[in-house]
Structure formats: structure tokens, C-alpha cells
Structure 1
Amino acid sequence: MSGVLEIGVIAIFAREFLEAAIIIGQFRTIIFKSSLDGERQKRANKIVWASAAVAFMIAFVMILITGIALGAANKNFSMVAAEIIEGVSKVVAAFAILLLSLKVPKWLGLYDATPDVEAEEHAKQGAFIAAWVGCIKMFDPNDPLEPSALKFNVGWNIWREMAEIGAFLFPYFLRDNQNPLLIPASAAVGIAVALVLGGFIYWANGRFSNKVPLAVFMATLTGWLATGLFTGGCHEFEEAVYFDCLEKSGVDCRMTPVVFEIGAKGSSGRFWRHWELPMTIFKPFGYSKYPTALMIAAFWSFFVVACGTHYWQYWQNKKAKLAQGASADEPVKSVATA
């Protein structure tokens, strides 16, 4: 993308802010569908927004301090190190977006809610830390709308999502000669994308009865983006090897062979260049005018992994439904035999 925008940073902010928006939306849904009276619902809603805001500010300050500290460090990286850092950042973003793609069907209610082991473990860790430092009073974990529980649950989950952004941004903090506007500008775009998608999901859940086409479209789009980011990351590693060879031997080393060229050569094929509009729009999705053997192998390998994980998730949900149906029929059979 341009020198001010970076698809990896946009993807990271979009993913984490979308998850944060979904978390806030879920708590608001629980509140307004609960048996609480109107005044208590308003207070609970204020707690959600206040806790989210405090958690966001704490995480933001932590990320800012980390970024300043790393930015002040000596970063005289070679081209090889720069390509490796960029490759790592894109591969990390690819797996983050793939996880987002897997969550889309759940958020749209197509899959039954299942216990989130990872989230439960995070909650246990957070509760232990909070109790140890005496930050909050003890609360009943079985009552998620009890004020102290609500403050902790919202605050901890929002802080965790925002803090993950800082971890994902480490490779970008370490870049040399980076445009100072790259992270804030890309973050603004990513947050805007997250708010639009989050609002759209919230609206679609109450609007459409058949959400299958929407889930397929969004899961496909995010899965395709993840595949493209992984492909781009692998190509950065390929370029790192190229520059390493060039620096050590002074010879113009070759990368893996270019399998084919899209469009005509020279100025007549300018339309198809992945570094110019309009085709640069598709570069984050894995497009290249000159795809190498490694890029093609990376694209289709990750594509198979993405499709396989989606199918595995679908099959696990189907098995869970069959098991629930069997357990529901068991008492009926027992009564009939009696």
C-alpha cells in the first residue's frame, strides 16, 4: 500500500477492535434482555461503556510507552532484517485474520455457543491477578450483571484485546526509516473498518433470519485476506534471502522462478501492475503481476488450511448438535420402554 498505510497494521486494528465491539455488543444484549428494571439496565449499560473506556486508555498508554521505548532504540537494520520483520508482521496478521474468519459464523449465530476454553483461562488469570493486588472486591462469577463482575468482565476482556495490538505491533515499532504517520493512519482506517463491520453484524443479527449468505461472504472475504497476507509474508522472506545473497556476494541472486506474468509486458501491461492502481487494491489478497513459485505454493497451502479449519469447525458444530439431539431423545426412549 502507500507509505502512510500498511495492510498488516490495518488488519490488526480491525480484528482487535471488531472483537472489542462484539464483546461490548454481547454484554449490552445480555443487559437489555435481562430481567433488570429500566434504571438498573441504564446503570449496567454505563458500567459497560465506562469499563471499556478505562481498559482502552490503560492499554493505549502501555502501547504508547512500548512504542516510544522501541522507537528510541538503535534500529540500524539491514535490508535483510527489514524484510524479515515485515514478513513476520504479515504472517502474524494472516493468522490473526484467519481466527477472525472462523469467528464470523459464531457471531452471526450459525453455530451453537460452545464454552470458550481460552477465554475462561484468561478470565481465571485476570481474576487471580485482580484479587492478588486487591483491585476489585470479590464477586459472584455466576452473576455476570452484578456491578463488580460486570466491571471486571468488560474491563479485562477489552484490555486483553487492546493489549494484543501492542504485541502485534512489535515488528512495526522495530522498523527503520518508517513514516511516523504509518501506525496512527493505518490504525484509524482499521478502527473505522472494525466499527463499520461491528455495526453491520449487530444490525444483521436483528434484521435477517437467513444469515448463511452473509456469513459465507464475510468468512470468505476475511479468509481470502488472511491467505493474501500469508502469501505476502512468505514473499518478504524470499526477498530477505535475495538481499542476503546480494549483500554477501554482490551477485544479483534470483528468487524462486516467476511462474507466469499477468498481462502484457512493458507499458501496455501497466493496468496489471500490483504496485499501481487499480490492481494494487488486490495486492493484500495475494495478487501479483509476477507470482513466484513460492508465492503460489504459499497461497494455495494457506488456502487449504483456511478451508480445512472452516470445515473442521462446521463438522464439530454438527457433531455437537447430533449429540444434543441424542441426549434429548434419551429420556423419551426410557419412558417408552418403561
Structure 2
Amino acid sequence: MLANLEELYIGGNRLSGVVLTYISNASRLAHLDLTSNQFTGVIPRSLGDLRLLKILCLANNSFSYESHYGELSFLNSLSNCKYLNVLWLNEIPFNGFLPVSVGNLSSNLESFYMNDCGLYGQIPSSIGNLSNLADLNLSQNALEGTIPPTFGGLLKLQEMDLGYNKFQGPCPSELCYLLNLGRLSLSSNLLSVVLYPLKNLKALMIVDLSVNNYFGDIPIAIGALQSLQALSLKHNRLQGFIPESMKNMLELQYLDLSFNNLTGEIPSSLQVLQNLVYFNVSFNRFRGPIPHGGPFANFTKLSFLSNEALCDAPWLQPCQTFEQSSRKKTVLFVLLALLDP
């Protein structure tokens, strides 16, 4: 009976126990979905004997693994599954590190999830061998080191989430080759200097680079990302002005630049962003009038908290009054300085 089985879907139940090694007797099995159960024990290496396997979903279980100093060596056996297209191992408490052999997984692999698995160590550079990968999620782990330059070889990548790890240093310039990338999340790491390589990624729709160590200016070239719908740069160390070129990002719906060191005025040209429904520049050093038109008519003071000298909004004093008050204070300080013996 097992020999004729081609698809097995038993996800979303309360099944427990171990997955027996004789699952490999189902030699024609192409789809195996055990997600969201209560399975325990070792993931059997015999899964690698399922040579026709295309989809393997084991996510959200309590599997363990046979390890050699923490290496997730069971992935070695899956390299025999040459047709494997989807591999979802997320939300399993592996608490180990990715072996170099992860790069030997099927060249047909398009979707690879190992988020929230307790992974540590570095991403092997061999991951760049997975040339058909379109969707990669390694978020919510404890991965560290730098992001390998070999990511630049994942030319078909459409979604990449490496958020909530411990990556540090600059992102590789090779990211600029990922021309099909539509969603990028590197949030909550220790990364720096990443904005410039993004200017070529015209397919980007969602970018989350929040809670990192990015510094310097927001590049003028960011205005070329005209398909972008959501951009979060909050909690970084960005300086300088909001570039006028951002007025060209007409699809933008969400923009968060809060908790940086940005200065100057909020460009009135951003009033043309009619799709913008969320805007936050709180905790910066902006000065001058808050725009009134377009989407700005709907934003409240919660979008502008704790800046240096914003004015001309219902909850703030008019700019003229502020400027006059500022000049008076300057004159007073000068007089006091002159009178000081």
C-alpha cells in the first residue's frame, strides 16, 4: 500500500510520536506534509530515500536531530531528493547550525523555511548554490557573522527574510544583483551600510531595515524604487535630509523613519504620495513646517513626536511665531554674552 502512495497530508492535527523510518517504503511519495502536529524524535534520514519527493513540510513540530557538535546533519540525506521544490522546517527547536551541505540540496529548491529554529553560527557560503531559490526565510534565529556574498548568486530570489538574528557588518554589494527581489527584511540585526546596493532593485515592494546600525544619508537614488509600498528604516543612525527624490515613490503606503538623527525640513513634495497611509518621523531633529496637503491632512502629532523645531500644525505654534521667538532668544543670548564681564 505504501509503495503506491504519492501524497500524504496530515498537517494541523494533534498527532504525536515519531516518524518511523519505513516511511521510505513509500517510494513514489512526492508530497509529505506533517506540519503543526506534536511529533518528536529524530527526523529519519530515510527521508532521503524518497527520491521523487517535491514538497516536504515538517514545520511546527518538536523534532530533534542526531548531531555532530550541533551540525544539522540530517540535511545531508535530503540532498538525494533531486526534485525537492519546497522545504519547510520552520518552528522546530533544532538549536544547531547549518552544515555546508545545505548547498547540496536540490537545484530545483524554490522555497526554504527554517525560521524560528534556534539556529546559530554562520550561514554557509554554499547556500549560493541554490540557484532556483525564490523564497528564503531564516528569521528569528541566532545566526551571526556577515551575510555571505554568495547571496548575489540567488538571482531568482523574490522574498528574503533574515530578520531578528545577529548579523553584523556591511551587507554584501552583491545584493544589487537580486533584480527579482520583491520583499527584503533584515530587521533587528547589527548591520551597517546597506542602502546604496538597493537602488538597482526596482522590483522591491517591501523593505524592512529597522533596528540596525545603518548610518549616513538616505541616498537620493532611493527615489528610483518606484514599486516600493512599505519602507521601514526606524531605529538606526541615519543622518542628513529626507531626499526630494522620494516624491517619485508613488506606490508608497508605509514610511517609518523614526528614531534616527535626520535633520532639515520634511519635504513638502511628499504631499504627492496619495497612497501614503502611515508616516512616522518621530525622534529625529526635523525643523520647519509640517506639510498640510495630500496624505499629511490625515496624520496626527503621533507621526512627529520629539523633533527639534517643527511648526505650523494644529498642535504646534505657527512657524512665523516660532521664528520670531527663536530670533528673540538669539538676540537675548548675544546681549547677555556682551554684558557678561
Please state which band the TM-score falls in when normalised by the shorter chain: under 0.3
TM-score (norm 2): 0.17
Q: Higher relative contact order by CA 8 Å / sep ≥ 6: 1 or 2? A: 1
Which structure has the highest strand share of the two?
A: 2
Which one has a bigger Cα radius of gyration?
2
TM-score (norm 1): 0.17
